[in-house]
Structure 1
Protein backbone atom coordinates (compact mmCIF):
# COMPACT_ATOMS: atom_id res chain seq x y z
CA UNK A 1 0.00 0.00 0.00
CA UNK A 2 1.35 3.42 -0.98
CA UNK A 3 2.03 5.62 2.03
CA UNK A 4 4.44 8.03 3.66
CA UNK A 5 5.26 6.74 7.16
CA UNK A 6 6.13 9.68 9.40
CA UNK A 7 8.70 8.74 12.05
CA UNK A 8 8.97 12.03 13.94
CA UNK A 9 5.62 13.62 14.79
CA UNK A 10 7.37 16.49 16.56
CA UNK A 11 8.62 17.90 13.25
CA UNK A 12 6.31 20.74 12.23
CA UNK A 13 6.35 21.79 8.57
CA UNK A 14 4.51 24.70 7.00
CA UNK A 15 4.35 24.44 3.21
CA UNK A 16 7.98 23.27 3.03
CA UNK A 17 10.34 23.31 0.08
CA UNK A 18 10.91 19.71 -1.01
CA UNK A 19 14.18 18.95 -2.81
CA UNK A 20 14.00 15.70 -4.76
CA UNK A 21 17.10 13.54 -5.12
CA UNK A 22 16.36 10.49 -7.25
CA UNK A 23 19.56 9.20 -8.91
CA UNK A 24 20.20 10.44 -12.43
CA UNK A 25 22.90 11.67 -14.81
CA UNK A 26 26.05 12.54 -12.88
CA UNK A 27 24.16 11.57 -9.71
CA UNK A 28 23.73 15.33 -9.30
CA UNK A 29 20.36 15.10 -7.52
CA UNK A 30 21.57 12.48 -5.09
CA UNK A 31 24.87 14.24 -4.35
CA UNK A 32 23.07 17.56 -3.82
CA UNK A 33 20.39 16.18 -1.49
CA UNK A 34 22.87 14.02 0.44
CA UNK A 35 24.95 17.16 0.99
CA UNK A 36 21.93 19.22 2.08
CA UNK A 37 21.00 16.57 4.63
CA UNK A 38 24.49 16.46 6.11
CA UNK A 39 25.17 20.22 5.96
CA UNK A 40 21.93 21.14 7.73
CA UNK A 41 21.88 18.12 10.07
CA UNK A 42 18.42 17.19 8.82
CA UNK A 43 16.48 14.52 10.73
CA UNK A 44 15.08 11.29 9.29
CA UNK A 45 11.47 12.40 9.07
CA UNK A 46 9.65 9.69 7.11
CA UNK A 47 9.97 6.51 5.08
CA UNK A 48 8.49 6.41 1.60
CA UNK A 49 6.53 3.28 0.68
CA UNK A 50 5.27 3.57 -2.90
CA UNK A 51 4.10 0.87 -5.26
CA UNK A 52 6.82 0.44 -7.84
CA UNK A 53 9.77 1.08 -5.55
CA UNK A 54 12.14 -1.89 -5.23
CA UNK A 55 11.22 -4.09 -2.27
CA UNK A 56 14.58 -3.86 -0.53
CA UNK A 57 15.79 -2.82 2.92
CA UNK A 58 18.80 -0.58 3.51
CA UNK A 59 21.30 -0.59 6.38
CA UNK A 60 24.13 1.80 7.17
CA UNK A 61 27.58 1.61 8.70
CA UNK A 62 27.65 1.24 12.51
CA UNK A 63 23.84 1.06 12.67
CA UNK A 64 21.86 -2.21 12.74
CA UNK A 65 18.52 -0.50 12.02
CA UNK A 66 16.96 -1.13 8.62
CA UNK A 67 15.29 1.65 6.63
CA UNK A 68 13.38 1.97 3.38
CA UNK A 69 15.49 2.83 0.31
CA UNK A 70 13.61 6.13 -0.22
CA UNK A 71 13.35 8.47 2.75
CA UNK A 72 12.44 12.04 3.66
CA UNK A 73 14.68 14.21 5.84
CA UNK A 74 13.46 17.44 7.39
CA UNK A 75 14.76 20.71 8.81
CA UNK A 76 11.80 22.35 10.53
CA UNK A 77 13.69 25.59 11.20
CA UNK A 78 14.36 26.12 7.50
CA UNK A 79 11.06 24.49 6.44
CA UNK A 80 13.11 22.23 4.19
CA UNK A 81 12.60 18.60 3.22
CA UNK A 82 14.99 16.45 1.17
CA UNK A 83 14.11 13.21 -0.57
CA UNK A 84 17.00 10.74 -0.40
CA UNK A 85 16.93 7.68 -2.62
CA UNK A 86 19.38 4.79 -2.47
CA UNK A 87 17.89 3.02 -5.49
CA UNK A 88 17.07 3.82 -9.11
CA UNK A 89 13.43 3.51 -10.13
CA UNK A 90 12.18 1.31 -12.95
CA UNK A 91 10.75 3.46 -15.78
CA UNK A 92 7.52 1.47 -15.70
CA UNK A 93 7.04 2.41 -12.04
CA UNK A 94 7.84 6.12 -12.34
CA UNK A 95 4.20 7.14 -12.73
CA UNK A 96 3.16 5.12 -9.66
CA UNK A 97 5.90 6.68 -7.55
CA UNK A 98 4.97 10.16 -8.77
CA UNK A 99 1.32 9.62 -7.83
CA UNK A 100 2.27 8.30 -4.40
CA UNK A 101 4.42 11.35 -3.59
CA UNK A 102 1.86 13.70 -5.11
CA UNK A 103 -0.56 12.86 -2.30
CA UNK A 104 2.04 14.01 0.24
CA UNK A 105 2.65 17.22 -1.74
CA UNK A 106 -1.08 17.89 -1.61
CA UNK A 107 -1.42 17.19 2.11
CA UNK A 108 1.57 19.31 3.18
CA UNK A 109 1.39 22.10 0.60
CA UNK A 110 5.02 21.36 -0.25
CA UNK A 111 6.75 23.27 -3.06
CA UNK A 112 8.76 20.68 -5.01
CA UNK A 113 12.17 21.37 -6.53
CA UNK A 114 13.05 18.56 -8.94
CA UNK A 115 16.66 17.94 -10.00
CA UNK A 116 18.03 16.57 -13.28
CA UNK A 117 21.38 16.28 -15.00
CA UNK A 118 21.84 17.09 -18.68
CA UNK A 119 24.69 15.01 -20.05
CA UNK A 120 27.47 17.19 -21.46
CA UNK A 121 31.17 16.44 -21.94
CA UNK A 122 33.22 18.19 -19.25
CA UNK A 123 35.53 21.11 -20.06
CA UNK A 124 37.07 24.01 -18.16
CA UNK A 125 33.89 26.11 -18.04
CA UNK A 126 31.49 25.77 -15.07
CA UNK A 127 28.33 23.78 -15.84
CA UNK A 128 25.29 25.82 -16.87
CA UNK A 129 22.04 25.68 -14.89
CA UNK A 130 18.56 26.05 -16.37
CA UNK A 131 15.08 26.07 -14.89
CA UNK A 132 11.64 24.84 -15.95
CA UNK A 133 8.36 25.25 -14.10
CA UNK A 134 4.72 24.27 -13.72
CA UNK A 135 1.91 26.38 -12.27
CA UNK A 136 3.37 29.57 -10.83
CA UNK A 137 6.74 27.97 -10.23
CA UNK A 138 8.26 30.33 -12.78
CA UNK A 139 8.04 33.10 -10.18
CA UNK A 140 10.53 31.25 -7.98
CA UNK A 141 12.89 30.81 -10.93
CA UNK A 142 12.69 34.53 -11.69
CA UNK A 143 13.47 35.49 -8.09
CA UNK A 144 16.42 33.09 -8.08
CA UNK A 145 17.56 34.43 -11.47
CA UNK A 146 17.78 30.93 -12.93
CA UNK A 147 18.20 31.00 -16.71
CA UNK A 148 15.65 29.65 -19.20
CA UNK A 149 16.60 26.54 -21.23
CA UNK A 150 18.58 27.38 -24.39
CA UNK A 151 17.04 24.49 -26.35
CA UNK A 152 14.03 22.18 -26.34
CA UNK A 153 14.26 19.01 -24.29
CA UNK A 154 12.51 16.49 -22.06
CA UNK A 155 12.98 15.10 -18.56
CA UNK A 156 12.56 11.35 -18.11
CA UNK A 157 12.60 8.86 -15.23
CA UNK A 158 10.85 9.44 -11.88
CA UNK A 159 11.76 13.14 -11.96
CA UNK A 160 10.10 13.53 -15.35
CA UNK A 161 7.04 11.63 -14.10
CA UNK A 162 6.70 13.94 -11.09
CA UNK A 163 7.07 17.02 -13.27
CA UNK A 164 4.38 15.61 -15.56
CA UNK A 165 2.13 15.01 -12.53
CA UNK A 166 2.66 18.61 -11.39
CA UNK A 167 1.89 19.85 -14.90
CA UNK A 168 -1.33 17.82 -15.08
CA UNK A 169 -2.51 19.07 -11.69
CA UNK A 170 -1.44 22.66 -12.24
CA UNK A 171 0.76 22.49 -9.13
CA UNK A 172 3.49 25.06 -8.50
CA UNK A 173 6.83 23.31 -9.00
CA UNK A 174 10.23 23.87 -10.55
CA UNK A 175 12.76 21.65 -12.23
CA UNK A 176 16.47 22.49 -12.12
CA UNK A 177 18.57 21.12 -14.98
CA UNK A 178 22.35 21.27 -14.72
CA UNK A 179 24.97 20.23 -17.26
CA UNK A 180 26.61 17.12 -15.87
CA UNK A 181 29.20 14.50 -16.63
CA UNK A 182 27.30 11.81 -18.58
CA UNK A 183 29.38 8.92 -17.19
CA UNK A 184 30.69 9.76 -13.73
CA UNK A 185 29.45 11.33 -10.48
CA UNK A 186 29.68 15.11 -10.76
CA UNK A 187 30.04 16.96 -7.42
CA UNK A 188 30.84 20.22 -9.25
CA UNK A 189 27.46 20.17 -10.99
CA UNK A 190 25.75 19.33 -7.68
CA UNK A 191 27.46 22.37 -6.13
CA UNK A 192 26.05 24.60 -8.90
CA UNK A 193 22.60 23.13 -8.24
CA UNK A 194 22.82 24.07 -4.57
CA UNK A 195 24.42 27.51 -4.83
CA UNK A 196 22.62 28.85 -7.91
CA UNK A 197 19.32 26.99 -7.70
CA UNK A 198 18.27 25.34 -4.44
CA UNK A 199 19.57 27.95 -1.98
CA UNK A 200 18.04 30.99 -3.77
CA UNK A 201 14.69 29.21 -4.18
CA UNK A 202 14.50 27.72 -0.67
CA UNK A 203 15.99 30.77 1.07
CA UNK A 204 18.76 28.67 2.59
CA UNK A 205 22.52 29.10 2.89
CA UNK A 206 24.35 25.82 2.42
CA UNK A 207 28.13 25.56 2.88
CA UNK A 208 29.54 23.72 -0.13
CA UNK A 209 33.26 23.73 0.64
CA UNK A 210 33.06 20.02 1.34
CA UNK A 211 31.80 19.30 -2.15
CA UNK A 212 34.87 20.97 -3.62
CA UNK A 213 37.47 19.74 -1.13
CA UNK A 214 36.14 16.18 -1.14
CA UNK A 215 35.26 15.93 -4.84
CA UNK A 216 37.57 12.95 -5.43
CA UNK A 217 36.34 11.16 -2.32
CA UNK A 218 32.70 11.76 -3.30
CA UNK A 219 33.33 10.49 -6.83
CA UNK A 220 34.92 7.31 -5.50
CA UNK A 221 32.16 6.75 -2.96
CA UNK A 222 29.44 7.13 -5.60
CA UNK A 223 31.28 5.25 -8.35
CA UNK A 224 29.94 1.80 -7.46
CA UNK A 225 26.41 3.20 -7.25
CA UNK A 226 26.77 4.85 -10.66
CA UNK A 227 28.09 1.65 -12.20
CA UNK A 228 25.16 -0.30 -10.76
CA UNK A 229 22.75 2.17 -12.33
CA UNK A 230 24.44 1.90 -15.74
CA UNK A 231 24.30 -1.89 -15.62
CA UNK A 232 20.70 -2.05 -14.41
CA UNK A 233 17.68 -2.04 -16.68
CA UNK A 234 16.14 0.84 -14.73
CA UNK A 235 16.05 4.25 -16.36
CA UNK A 236 17.43 7.08 -14.28
CA UNK A 237 16.12 10.61 -14.22
CA UNK A 238 17.72 12.77 -16.84
CA UNK A 239 17.19 15.73 -19.11
CA UNK A 240 17.99 15.42 -22.80
CA UNK A 241 17.62 17.56 -25.91
CA UNK A 242 14.41 17.03 -27.86
CA UNK A 243 15.55 16.22 -31.39
CA UNK A 244 13.28 16.89 -34.35
CA UNK A 245 11.54 13.93 -36.04
CA UNK A 246 12.27 11.51 -33.20
Structure 2
Protein backbone atom coordinates (compact mmCIF):
# COMPACT_ATOMS: atom_id res chain seq x y z
CA UNK A 1 0.00 0.00 0.00
CA UNK A 2 1.14 3.54 -0.80
CA UNK A 3 -0.19 6.65 0.90
CA UNK A 4 0.50 10.11 -0.51
CA UNK A 5 0.10 13.23 1.59
CA UNK A 6 -0.14 16.35 -0.59
CA UNK A 7 0.95 19.58 1.11
CA UNK A 8 0.58 21.91 -1.85
CA UNK A 9 0.18 21.78 -5.62
CA UNK A 10 1.97 24.77 -7.10
CA UNK A 11 1.61 25.80 -10.74
CA UNK A 12 5.08 25.04 -12.11
CA UNK A 13 6.67 25.84 -15.47
CA UNK A 14 7.55 22.56 -17.20
CA UNK A 15 9.44 21.32 -14.12
CA UNK A 16 12.24 18.78 -14.29
CA UNK A 17 12.11 15.93 -11.79
CA UNK A 18 15.48 15.54 -10.05
CA UNK A 19 15.86 12.59 -7.69
CA UNK A 20 18.37 10.98 -5.37
CA UNK A 21 17.77 8.27 -2.77
CA UNK A 22 19.98 6.47 -0.21
CA UNK A 23 22.43 4.10 -1.87
CA UNK A 24 26.16 3.43 -2.15
CA UNK A 25 28.15 6.40 -0.93
CA UNK A 26 24.87 8.25 -0.37
CA UNK A 27 25.78 10.10 -3.57
CA UNK A 28 22.24 10.66 -4.87
CA UNK A 29 20.79 11.37 -1.43
CA UNK A 30 23.50 13.91 -0.57
CA UNK A 31 23.08 15.65 -3.91
CA UNK A 32 19.29 15.87 -3.63
CA UNK A 33 19.36 17.08 -0.01
CA UNK A 34 21.98 19.70 -0.86
CA UNK A 35 19.89 20.94 -3.78
CA UNK A 36 16.79 21.25 -1.58
CA UNK A 37 18.72 23.17 1.08
CA UNK A 38 20.64 25.53 -1.19
CA UNK A 39 17.70 26.39 -3.45
CA UNK A 40 15.27 26.73 -0.55
CA UNK A 41 12.86 24.22 -2.09
CA UNK A 42 9.48 23.65 -0.42
CA UNK A 43 7.76 20.39 0.54
CA UNK A 44 5.02 19.42 -1.91
CA UNK A 45 4.22 15.83 -0.94
CA UNK A 46 5.17 12.94 1.34
CA UNK A 47 4.99 9.35 0.12
CA UNK A 48 4.59 6.43 2.54
CA UNK A 49 4.74 2.73 1.66
CA UNK A 50 4.46 -0.67 3.33
CA UNK A 51 7.53 -1.59 1.26
CA UNK A 52 9.83 0.67 3.27
CA UNK A 53 11.92 -0.90 6.07
CA UNK A 54 9.83 -1.58 9.21
CA UNK A 55 11.39 1.08 11.41
CA UNK A 56 10.94 4.69 12.46
CA UNK A 57 13.33 7.64 12.57
CA UNK A 58 13.98 9.35 15.92
CA UNK A 59 14.16 13.14 15.69
CA UNK A 60 16.08 15.64 17.83
CA UNK A 61 12.95 16.73 19.68
CA UNK A 62 12.26 13.16 20.80
CA UNK A 63 9.42 12.50 18.35
CA UNK A 64 9.41 9.93 15.57
CA UNK A 65 8.55 9.74 11.90
CA UNK A 66 7.96 6.90 9.46
CA UNK A 67 10.30 6.07 6.61
CA UNK A 68 9.18 8.05 3.58
CA UNK A 69 10.02 9.67 0.28
CA UNK A 70 9.43 13.38 -0.30
CA UNK A 71 8.76 15.60 -3.28
CA UNK A 72 9.95 19.22 -3.01
CA UNK A 73 9.45 22.03 -5.50
CA UNK A 74 11.50 25.06 -6.49
CA UNK A 75 10.22 27.92 -8.60
CA UNK A 76 13.07 29.28 -10.66
CA UNK A 77 13.19 33.09 -10.43
CA UNK A 78 15.10 33.19 -13.71
CA UNK A 79 14.40 31.88 -17.18
CA UNK A 80 15.43 28.29 -16.46
CA UNK A 81 13.10 25.42 -15.56
CA UNK A 82 11.33 24.92 -12.24
CA UNK A 83 12.32 21.80 -10.33
CA UNK A 84 10.67 18.92 -8.51
CA UNK A 85 13.24 17.35 -6.19
CA UNK A 86 12.61 13.84 -4.92
CA UNK A 87 14.48 12.29 -2.01
CA UNK A 88 13.79 10.22 1.09
CA UNK A 89 15.29 8.28 3.97
CA UNK A 90 14.74 4.85 2.42
CA UNK A 91 14.18 2.81 -0.70
CA UNK A 92 11.63 0.01 -0.86
CA UNK A 93 13.09 -3.29 0.33
CA UNK A 94 11.61 -5.48 -2.42
CA UNK A 95 11.37 -5.29 -6.24
CA UNK A 96 7.56 -5.07 -6.28
CA UNK A 97 7.62 -2.14 -3.88
CA UNK A 98 10.29 -0.35 -5.89
CA UNK A 99 8.31 -0.66 -9.12
CA UNK A 100 5.10 0.46 -7.40
CA UNK A 101 6.78 3.47 -5.80
CA UNK A 102 8.53 4.48 -9.01
CA UNK A 103 5.21 4.39 -10.88
CA UNK A 104 3.47 6.48 -8.20
CA UNK A 105 6.25 9.06 -8.08
CA UNK A 106 6.24 9.41 -11.87
CA UNK A 107 2.45 9.67 -11.88
CA UNK A 108 2.53 12.38 -9.22
CA UNK A 109 5.37 14.22 -10.95
CA UNK A 110 3.44 14.23 -14.20
CA UNK A 111 0.47 15.76 -12.38
CA UNK A 112 2.84 18.57 -11.37
CA UNK A 113 3.79 18.95 -15.03
CA UNK A 114 7.21 17.25 -15.09
CA UNK A 115 8.46 16.60 -18.61
CA UNK A 116 11.94 15.26 -17.85
CA UNK A 117 13.64 13.09 -15.20
CA UNK A 118 17.18 13.31 -13.83
CA UNK A 119 18.23 10.62 -11.35
CA UNK A 120 21.45 10.89 -9.35
CA UNK A 121 23.28 7.84 -8.04
CA UNK A 122 26.69 6.21 -7.51
CA UNK A 123 29.13 4.53 -9.88
CA UNK A 124 31.09 2.17 -7.62
CA UNK A 125 34.75 1.56 -8.43
CA UNK A 126 35.97 0.27 -5.06
CA UNK A 127 38.63 2.97 -4.76
CA UNK A 128 38.72 6.55 -3.51
CA UNK A 129 39.67 9.18 -6.11
CA UNK A 130 40.52 12.86 -5.73
CA UNK A 131 38.57 13.92 -8.81
CA UNK A 132 35.48 11.74 -9.34
CA UNK A 133 34.22 11.28 -12.88
CA UNK A 134 30.53 11.47 -13.68
CA UNK A 135 29.08 8.54 -15.61
CA UNK A 136 25.69 8.59 -17.25
CA UNK A 137 22.99 7.12 -19.44
CA UNK A 138 19.86 8.48 -21.10
CA UNK A 139 16.58 7.23 -22.51
CA UNK A 140 17.35 8.51 -26.03
CA UNK A 141 20.39 8.71 -28.29
CA UNK A 142 19.90 12.49 -28.37
CA UNK A 143 20.08 12.49 -24.58
CA UNK A 144 23.31 10.48 -24.69
CA UNK A 145 24.84 13.06 -27.05
CA UNK A 146 23.78 15.86 -24.69
CA UNK A 147 25.51 14.15 -21.77
CA UNK A 148 28.68 13.68 -23.80
CA UNK A 149 28.68 17.43 -24.49
CA UNK A 150 28.83 17.92 -20.71
CA UNK A 151 31.88 15.63 -20.35
CA UNK A 152 29.85 12.77 -18.89
CA UNK A 153 31.37 9.32 -19.45
CA UNK A 154 28.65 7.22 -21.07
CA UNK A 155 27.90 3.82 -19.56
CA UNK A 156 27.67 1.24 -22.33
CA UNK A 157 27.29 -1.90 -20.22
CA UNK A 158 26.23 -2.98 -16.73
CA UNK A 159 23.10 -1.86 -14.89
CA UNK A 160 21.72 0.76 -12.50
CA UNK A 161 19.90 -0.96 -9.64
CA UNK A 162 17.07 0.18 -7.38
CA UNK A 163 14.79 3.19 -7.60
CA UNK A 164 17.56 5.43 -8.89
CA UNK A 165 17.60 3.34 -12.05
CA UNK A 166 13.91 2.46 -12.23
CA UNK A 167 12.60 6.02 -12.10
CA UNK A 168 14.41 7.23 -15.18
CA UNK A 169 13.89 3.94 -17.03
CA UNK A 170 10.12 3.83 -16.40
CA UNK A 171 9.96 7.46 -17.51
CA UNK A 172 10.81 6.21 -21.00
CA UNK A 173 7.66 4.04 -21.04
CA UNK A 174 5.62 7.15 -20.21
CA UNK A 175 7.17 9.21 -22.98
CA UNK A 176 9.21 11.31 -20.55
CA UNK A 177 12.84 12.05 -21.35
CA UNK A 178 15.21 10.65 -18.72
CA UNK A 179 18.84 10.88 -17.65
CA UNK A 180 20.88 9.15 -14.95
CA UNK A 181 24.01 10.80 -13.56
CA UNK A 182 26.33 8.66 -11.45
CA UNK A 183 29.24 9.95 -9.38
CA UNK A 184 32.38 7.83 -9.20
CA UNK A 185 32.82 6.54 -5.64
CA UNK A 186 34.56 3.83 -3.67
CA UNK A 187 31.24 2.77 -2.17
CA UNK A 188 32.81 2.61 1.30
CA UNK A 189 32.25 6.18 2.49
CA UNK A 190 29.59 8.89 2.44
CA UNK A 191 31.00 10.59 -0.64
CA UNK A 192 30.32 14.34 -0.74
CA UNK A 193 32.93 14.81 -3.46
CA UNK A 194 31.07 12.44 -5.81
CA UNK A 195 27.77 14.16 -4.98
CA UNK A 196 29.32 17.53 -5.84
CA UNK A 197 30.61 16.21 -9.17
CA UNK A 198 27.11 15.04 -10.11
CA UNK A 199 25.51 18.33 -9.03
CA UNK A 200 27.98 20.36 -11.05
CA UNK A 201 26.94 18.51 -14.21
CA UNK A 202 23.25 18.82 -13.32
CA UNK A 203 23.54 22.55 -12.61
CA UNK A 204 25.22 23.09 -15.96
CA UNK A 205 22.55 21.05 -17.76
CA UNK A 206 19.71 22.99 -16.11
CA UNK A 207 21.49 26.36 -16.19
CA UNK A 208 21.07 26.97 -12.46
CA UNK A 209 23.51 28.17 -9.82
CA UNK A 210 24.10 26.00 -6.74
CA UNK A 211 26.44 26.96 -3.89
CA UNK A 212 28.71 23.95 -3.25
CA UNK A 213 30.49 25.22 -0.11
CA UNK A 214 28.85 22.77 2.32
CA UNK A 215 29.64 19.77 0.11
CA UNK A 216 33.21 21.00 -0.39
CA UNK A 217 33.73 21.31 3.38
CA UNK A 218 32.23 17.88 3.99
CA UNK A 219 34.46 16.38 1.31
CA UNK A 220 37.55 17.94 2.94
CA UNK A 221 36.65 16.39 6.31
CA UNK A 222 36.13 13.00 4.67
CA UNK A 223 39.49 13.31 2.91
CA UNK A 224 41.23 14.07 6.24
CA UNK A 225 39.64 10.96 7.77
CA UNK A 226 40.75 8.83 4.83
CA UNK A 227 44.32 10.13 5.06
CA UNK A 228 44.39 9.36 8.81
CA UNK A 229 43.14 5.83 8.17
CA UNK A 230 45.73 5.32 5.44
CA UNK A 231 48.47 6.47 7.83
CA UNK A 232 47.22 4.12 10.56
CA UNK A 233 47.15 1.25 8.08
CA UNK A 234 50.69 2.04 6.91
CA UNK A 235 51.97 2.06 10.50
CA UNK A 236 50.17 -1.19 11.27
CA UNK A 237 51.78 -2.87 8.26
CA UNK A 238 55.22 -1.59 9.29
CA UNK A 239 54.77 -2.83 12.85
CA UNK A 240 53.56 -6.22 11.63
CA UNK A 241 56.60 -6.49 9.37
CA UNK A 242 58.95 -5.66 12.25
CA UNK A 243 57.29 -8.26 14.48
CA UNK A 244 57.67 -10.79 11.71
CA UNK A 245 61.41 -10.07 11.45
CA UNK A 246 61.80 -10.32 15.25
CA UNK A 247 60.00 -13.63 15.43
CA UNK A 248 62.05 -14.98 12.57
CA UNK A 249 65.28 -14.11 14.40
CA UNK A 250 64.05 -15.80 17.56
CA UNK A 251 63.28 -19.09 15.81
CA UNK A 252 65.65 -21.90 16.89
CA UNK A 253 67.98 -23.34 14.30
CA UNK A 254 67.15 -26.95 13.51
CA UNK A 255 69.39 -29.09 11.30
Same fold (TM > 0.5): yes
Deviation at 1:207, TM superposition (A): 0.5
Alpha carbons of structure 1 residues 3 and 137: separation in structure 2 relative to 1, 3 Å: farther
Q: Does residue 108 of the first structure (1) align with residue 112 of the second (2)?
A: yes
Long gaps (5+) in structure 2: 224-255
The corresponding residue for 2:226 is: none
From 195, 207, 213, give the equivalent of 1:209: 213
Q: Does residue 98 of the first structure (1) align with residue 102 of the second (2)?
A: yes
Deviation at 1:169, TM superposition (A): 3.0
Higher relative contact order (CA 8 A, sep 6+): 1
Alpha carbons of structure 1 residues 103 and 90: separation in structure 2 relative to 1, 3 Å: same
Question: 3-state SS of the aligned residue for 1:162?
Answer: helix
Q: Does residue 7 of the first structure (1) align with residue 7 of the second (2)?
A: yes
- Kindly indicate whether the alpha-carbon contact (under 8 Å) linking 1:37 and 1:73 is maintained by their aligned counterparts in 2: yes
Question: 3-state SS of the aligned residue for 1:154?
Answer: coil
Max Rg structure: 2
In structure 2, what is the Cα distance between the partners aligned to 1:65 and 1:160? Answer: 30
In structure 1, what is the Cα distance between the partners aligned to 2:142 and 2:63? Answer: 41
Question: 3-state SS of the aligned residue for 2:188?
Answer: coil
In structure 1, what is the Cα distance between the partners aligned to 2:31 and 2:125? Answer: 18
The corresponding residue for 1:39 is: 38
Aligned length, in residue pairs: 217
Deviation at 1:150, TM superposition (A): 5.3
Between Structure 1 and Structure 2, the one with more helix by share is 2
Q: TM-score, normalised by structure 1?
A: 0.76
In structure 2, what is the Cα distance between the partners aligned to 1:40 and 1:168? Answer: 30
The corresponding residue for 1:170 is: 175
Deviation at 1:21, TM superposition (A): 1.3
Q: Does residue 77 of the first structure (1) align with residue 80 of the second (2)?
A: no
The corresponding residue for 2:245 is: none
After alignment, is 22-31 or 146-155 more displaced?
146-155
Instruction: Please provide the CA RMSD for this pair.
Output: 2.8
In structure 2, what is the Cα distance between the partners aligned to 1:65 and 1:14? Answer: 35
The corresponding residue for 2:133 is: 128
Deviations 1:146-187 (A, max 9, x none): 424254121111122223312333321111122112111100
The corresponding residue for 2:59 is: 60
